[in-house]
């Protein structure tokens, strides 16, 4: 798997720039810039930070062929979730919790 191509794909799906990814992943912009411009592969630590910033796990990152069995609706929801800021994620979580309590 081309890890950098996968990161690029995920950034495009989210409409993110390298700057936004660096901010969300809490890593320096220069680390990402060097990774793409100098053709360096990311370290495991950097990849974990990127995944965390994108709201996904390492297994989800590598699940390109949907081996986890997610429906299109579930994948879309995960993509929408990853675009939310922390405040909005908390609000959505509270809403889902409230809906589950009623069920």
CATH of the domain at 27: 1.10.260.40
- pTM for the predicted model, two decimal places: 0.64
What is the pLDDT, as a whole number, of residue 51? 94
Q: Which domain holds residue 78?
A: 3-102
More confident residue, 72 or 8: 8
Which residues are within 8 A (CB) of 32 and not within 5 positions of it... i.e. 6 or more apart? 18, 21, 22, 25
The pLDDT tens digits of the residues spanning 54-84 come to 988 888 888 765 656 778 888 788 778 877 8
pLDDT of residue 8: 93
Cα 41 to its chain centre, rounded Å, is 18
Q: How many structural domains comprise the chain? A: 1
What is the average pLDDT value for the chain, to the nearest integer?
87
Mean predicted confidence (pLDDT) in 31-46: 90
With beta carbons less than 8 A apart as the criterion, state whether 71 and 60 touch.
no
* Spatial separation of the C-alpha atoms in residues 54 and 50, rounded to whole Å: 6
Measure the N-to-C terminal CA separation of the chain; round to a whole number of Å.
42
Position 67 scores a pLDDT of: 58
- State whether the Cα torsion 43-5-22-69 is positive or negative: negative
| pLDDT greater at residue 76 or residue 44 | 44
């Amino acid at each position: 798997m081309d890890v950098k191509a996968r990161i690029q794909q995920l950034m495009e799906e989210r409409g993110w720039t390298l700057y936004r990814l660096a901010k969300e992943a809490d890593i320096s912009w220069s680390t990402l810039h060097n990774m793409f411009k100098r053709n360096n592969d990311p370290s495991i630590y950097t990849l974990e930070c990127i995944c965390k910033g994108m709201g996904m796990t390492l297994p989800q990152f590598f699940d390109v062929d949907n081996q986890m069995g997610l429906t299109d609706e579930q994948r879309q929801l995960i993509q929408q979730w990853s675009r939310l800021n922390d405040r909005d994620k908390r609000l959505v979580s509270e809403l889902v919790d409230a809906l589950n309590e009623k069920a």
